[in-house]
Amino acid sequence: MDWLCVPRFDGDPLFGRLVGGPDAGTFRVGPAGPATVVERRYRQHTATLETTWAVGGGRLRLTEAMVAEVSGRLLPTTLIVRRLSAEQAAVDAVVEFDPRLGARHRRPRVHHRRQALVCEWGALAVALNSTPAFRIEPGRPSSITVRPGRPVTLVLAVAHREPVIHVEPAAAWDLLVEDEARWRAWTAEIDERLPFREHVARSLLTLRLLTYSPSGAPVAAPTTSLPEDPGGGRNWDYRYVWPRDASIGVSAFLSVGKTDEARGFLAWLLHASRLQRPRLPALLTLYGRHAPAERELPGWPGYLDSRPVRVGNGAAGQHQLDGYGWVIDAAWAFAQAGHRLYGETWRAVRGFADVVAGCWQQPDAGIWEVREPAQHVHSKLMGWLALDRALAIADTHHLPEGQRRRWQNARAAIAAEVRTRGFDPTAASYVRSYGSQDLDAALLVLPLLGMDQAESQRVRGTIDAIRDGLSAGGALLYRYPPGRDGLPGAEGAFLPCSFWLVQGLARTGRRREAIELFQAMVDHASPLGLYAEELNPATGAHLGNYPQTLTHAALIQAALAIRDAPTGDGSA
């Protein structure tokens, strides 16, 4: 375990070796000598991970999970259970527990209390228990022998500004088993007839695991500075909430009947945006505060020598018009599912729509967060969507007539300008920005919006132009022409774009092509069924922070588009 932040996704790393090097801490459990991994998987429809090694004449299995449901009981908010078990023969194993907190890899004050090892850093403490009990010293590997029928269970409890709660390993294992049953019941509610159901279920489960339960906020990814360009400087902190990414996930949850998750996010957004409303920030912390200023961690070597390692995110102050469209679209989907918006929620949506009506002509940073603002066509389209969906919600919610007319006029003006200034007749495609000939894979959402008819030549031409002009080989796409973002270094294919292409094909009557493309994308998943944001087209290696909310949300919506597409195929 080389990455764990406490007490939240965006907290200080307790184990940070992933990007901080050997001095940043780890919690290693596994074979003591040479071994071969023969299987690594999640238990079906759960968040429990199993790793099995072949060691000599035996096998060693590590089963581990973080217990997700601890409310209503006297349990630590963070409870990690790890169990080693042997098959066929006894196996020598090692446990290395070396917690180092934060940017300076602070060592803890250490206490032994009964069978527990307790490590403290002021208001933060962690307690490690084991059965059978054996001596563990931070930073010193402990050797043990695991015998068939006699597993070794380790339990790590985290306490922040609260008493340390010790959980007996046997009781912790029972909690893990209960947690598995809850996940299986949660997953069983997903429609059995859904195309690619197993992949959708894993993605939904991943989105739920990326949600910080106390606030209902989903992070973009649980990591920072995993490189988009290994060895380079395209390393960003994604441990915050992008309302755009989260809203796409909300729509995915709603589409499979998971309304509690959608309601939780909208409640969080209402709370989180209150201080900056009607402006919608590009990103927020898990509690709705300003994301910290972007800074670099000196001395951190980075993953694969990719420096700098960053915390905080400089995009927090950007104007991103497209975010309003995604958020209001999620609210509309919630209303479409038969749930009336609370009065305060509707007032927030009205405020967002007013901002769009007033500022849509301004340049913005766009979905790709470029440093130089431009008149991004995708942003304009999403501004159109924000007003269109707000007007649709207004059909069942109170709206003054003057406000309605203002939104209608702005919506019409956006459509007229985009059709005139954002379309390149020579390429038969919408383009990245006014006056540019560059393509933009974000425009693949065009057939989902309704501004142009999905079967129109403009929509089909845009899809075909992007598929050809931004191809990274096979099912993979670049998000824009490589090298056109003003940053040094290269980047890989952008995985959400391929799933947006699946949606576009399905929505434009090319269901067979959509299914073939989805299947090809399934083959690009990690062995655990997870996706980063980008992929190296040459090697198949995942790039950037991992796993990625946006990719998994796009996968779910792609499968739903295939489900809803006509069975007749108009494929070329």
The secondary structure of 484-545 as a DSSP string is -SS-SS---EEHHHHHHHHHHHHHTT-HHHHHHHHHHHHTTS-TTS---SEE-TTT--EESS
- Bridge partners of 471, per DSSP, are 477
pLDDT at 571: 46
CA–CA gap between residue 98 and residue 24 (Å, rounded): 9
Q: Are 6 and 158 in contact (CB under 8 A)?
A: yes
For the residues of 183-199, what is the DSSP string, one character each? HHHHHHTS-TTSTTHHH
Q: 12-15 and 4-6: which strand pairing?
A: antiparallel
Q: Are 299 and 285 in contact (CB under 8 A)?
A: no
**Beta strands, E only, 149-228:** 152-160, 211-212, 217-218
CA–CA gap between residue 29 and residue 31 (Å, rounded): 7
Does residue 313 sit in helix, strand or coil?
coil
For the residues of 437-488, what is the DSSP string, one character each? ----GGGGGHHHHSSS-TTSHHHHHHHHHHHHHTEEETTEE-SSSTT-SS-S
Q: Are 170 and 16 in contact (CB under 8 A)?
A: no
Q: Does the CA dihedral 463-469-472-477 come out positive or negative?
A: negative
Residue at token pair 């075909």 = 464
Tens digit of pLDDT per residue, the chain (572 long)?
999 999 999 999 999 999 999 999 999 999 999 999 999 999 999 999 999 999 999 999 999 999 988 877 889 999 999 999 999 999 999 999 999 999 999 999 999 987 899 999 999 999 999 999 999 999 999 999 999 999 999 999 999 999 999 999 999 999 999 999 999 999 999 999 999 999 999 999 999 999 998 888 999 999 999 999 999 999 999 999 999 999 998 889 999 999 998 888 888 888 888 888 899 999 999 989 999 999 999 999 999 999 999 999 999 999 999 999 999 999 999 999 988 898 999 999 999 999 999 999 999 999 999 888 999 999 999 999 999 999 999 999 999 999 999 999 999 999 999 999 999 999 999 999 999 999 999 999 999 999 999 999 999 999 999 999 999 999 999 999 998 887 888 999 999 999 999 999 999 999 999 999 999 999 999 999 999 999 999 999 999 999 999 999 999 999 999 999 987 654 44
CA–CA gap between residue 19 and residue 3 (Å, rounded): 8
Q: CATH top-level class for 195-564? A: mainly alpha
Taking alpha carbons only, the member of 314, 319, 274, 309 closest to residue 294 is 314
Q: How many CA atoms lie within 13 A of 286 on its CB side?
A: 20
> How many other C-beta atoms lie within 10 A of the C-beta of residue 108?
22
Burial pattern 190-222, b for ≥16 Cβ within 10 A else e, equals: beeebbbbebbbbbbbbbbebbbeebbbbbbbb
Query: Distances in Å between the alpha carbon of 263 and those of 115, 270, 274, 362, 387?
Result: 43, 11, 17, 32, 21
Length of the chain counted residue by residue: 572
Query: Distances in Å between the alpha carbon of 369 and those of 26, 54, 313?
Result: 33, 46, 11
CA–CA gap between residue 442 and residue 109 (Å, rounded): 50
Q: Are 247 and 329 in contact (CB under 8 A)?
A: yes
Does residue 315 sit in helix, strand or coil?
helix
CA–CA gap between residue 376 and residue 359 (Å, rounded): 13
**Terminal Cα distance for the chain, rounded:** 48
What is the reported pTM?
A: 0.96
CA–CA gap between residue 161 and residue 565 (Å, rounded): 52
Locate 281 and state its tokens: 């920030």
Q: Does the CA dihedral 484-487-489-490 come out positive or negative?
A: negative
pLDDT at 272: 87
Q: Are 382 and 390 in contact (CB under 8 A)?
A: no
CA–CA gap between residue 180 and residue 176 (Å, rounded): 6
Report which residue type is found at 13.
P
Domain ranges of the chain: 4-165, 195-564
pLDDT at 572: 40
Report which residue type is found at 522.
V
